[in-house]
Structure 1
Amino acid sequence: MELVGGIAVGLKRLFGRVELDGFENLPVSGPAIVAVNHTTIADVPVVLGAFHRAGLHPSVPCEGMGCGSEHGHVRFLASSLVFRSRMIGPLARHAGMIEIGWRWSGPAALRSAREALARGEIVGIYPEGDVSATDDGSPRRFRFGVGRLALDSGAPVIPVAHHDARVIGSGSTARSLGGALTAVVRRPTVRLRAGRPIRPEEFAGCSIREVVDMVQDRVTEVWRSLATTSGGPDGPGAVRPPRRTNPAL
């Protein structure tokens, strides 16, 4: 088990319950882009842990037995603030995350992500860019990076949404960590769902703004499907994603 995936799985179990749905839509081979909504730093272990359990490990490709068929790997774009953290920075590097900093470093990060996609890898992105969540947790306006990556690579985009990791902790880093500590006792439930892929032919010939809006609409659609239901298909507290082979994108 990769280090970061194992830690994320442990934290996910510690913080509460996670209900998973639609994870057969996640690929185990690329190129592919996974776009996830972002409301709190507390959603990171939930997302990474759920992906790992579903066979999409947060790390660079291992090229070992079953890599790309029985399991896959995803490399997320992450803020420079993550890399500067003494605690989290080494884990981000170990997971092969792609650093994205201030405005002038954005093109370099996108170039690294495009190169990863060109090698047939899977790239994860939080298109909102930060965690200044709306009151109801609905996805905020997406930035252009996800559209640029989709157009440049011609890779499918898999929309993923959770509702709502803020029950674990939200706000500042200190408040989020404080909430996470109480979550060990409260045992809140977070619902996470992967929607059907947006195929390259759906955005062929579109402008970058149109692609970004398309991805936002699909992530929001997945989020809304969770916000208007009372639970996942496996019942309260479900934590096991379906076992599956590599789905066709």
Structure 2
Amino acid sequence: MPGRWVNLRYVEVVGKVAVGLTRLFGSVEPDGLAVLPFRGPAIVAVNHTTICDVPPVLATLHRAGLHPSVPCNREGCGVTHGHVRFMASSLVFANPFIGPLARQAGMIEVGGRQAGAAALKAAHDALDRGEVVGIYPEGDVSATEDGSPRRFRFGIGRLAADAKAPVIPVAHHDARRIGSGSIARSLGGALTSIVRRPTIKLRVGKPILPDEFTGLPLRDVVEVIQDRVTDVWRSVSGESLPRLDLDQPEKPL
């Protein structure tokens, strides 16, 4: 029958799964969601401390109307709701359970240095199409003792500078209460969080406009973004931190 079939590419599977997992493992106290963009080009930059912070982050964005999926181009797309495509490690895509979800959500795969360049191009192309791209600028989950943002990799600076796109800083504290460490330990912690019911604080900060970093050296672009995400993290954690030294050899994306 006409109209009976649904294009699964546009079904909001990942956002709904993230919402379900977050409700199961704990809760989120969000703030500042009104500044989230429903259309691009725009970059959402989020701190990363554990694999367990992904569901609460995606769930919060999804419930705010910024769905982790490819643009649906339906009525209201970019106005009443939006879509964000996150960059994710090749390890995520290789996972037999998470990989299909990452592909269904249109996530952009990031691998080694050469694959990182290809990932940046794919992200840049998405921004050129007016999409919203999400990125974890730290690149991995080897968290600091207090959960503060670690040194950002240079990919975030290149992407923001080349695309001249605003960056929306997002920070949370402390998703490690759900689970942290290795995948096994994180999953074990997540199971006990069903009883513990931890609350994660998440805040969206004021967008960093291209005028604030256009023309700056790459290191300075990264520093501007790093400082703003860290400031948002301080505001939800109550911690005070010294400024990070970015004058070190560049890491891959």
- TM-score, normalisation: structure 2: 0.89
Task: State yes or no: 1:37 paired with 2:38.
Answer: no
Count of residue pairs the alignment pairs up: 229
What is the match of residue 137 of structure 1? 147
Instruction: Within 5 Å, give how 1:16-165 maps onto structure 2.
Output: 16-165=26-175
Q: 1:4 aligns with which of 10, 14, 18?
A: 14
SS at match of 1:42: helix
Q: 2:199 aligns with which of 189, 198, 216?
A: 189
Distance, in Å, in 2 between the alignment partners of 1:77 and 1:152 is 17
Runs of 5+ consecutive residues of structure 1 not aligned to the other structure: 230-249
SS at match of 2:203: strand
Runs of 5+ consecutive residues of structure 2 not aligned to the other structure: 1-10, 240-253
Identical-residue share of aligned pairs (%): 71
Task: State yes or no: 1:179 paired with 2:189.
Answer: yes
Shift of residue 104 of structure 1? 1.9
1:167 is matched by which residue type in structure 2?
R
SS at match of 2:161: helix
Q: 1:167 aligns with which of 149, 159, 177?
A: 177
Shift of residue 72 of structure 1? 0.2
Distance, in Å, in 2 between the alignment partners of 1:148 and 1:17 is 34
Distance, in Å, in 2 between the alignment partners of 1:219 and 1:54 is 20
1:115 is matched by which residue type in structure 2?
D
Shift of residue 102 of structure 1? 1.2
What is the match of residue 233 of structure 1? none
1:152 is matched by which residue type in structure 2?
D
Provide Cα deviations, 1:92-122, integer angstroms capped at 9, x if missing partner: 0000000000122110000000000000000
Note the aligned Cα RMSD (angstroms): 0.8
Shift of residue 10 of structure 1? 0.5
1:44 is matched by which residue type in structure 2?
V
Distance, in Å, in 2 between the alignment partners of 1:204 and 1:84 is 36
Shift of residue 151 of structure 1? 0.6
Displaced runs of 4+ in structure 1, greater than 2 A? none
Provide Cα deviations, 1:103-152, integer angstroms capped at 9, x if missing partner: 22110000000000000000000000000000000000000011001111
Distance, in Å, in 1 between the alignment partners of 2:154 and 2:122 is 16
SS at match of 2:109: strand
Larger radius of gyration: 2
SS at match of 1:143: coil
- TM-score, normalisation: structure 1: 0.91
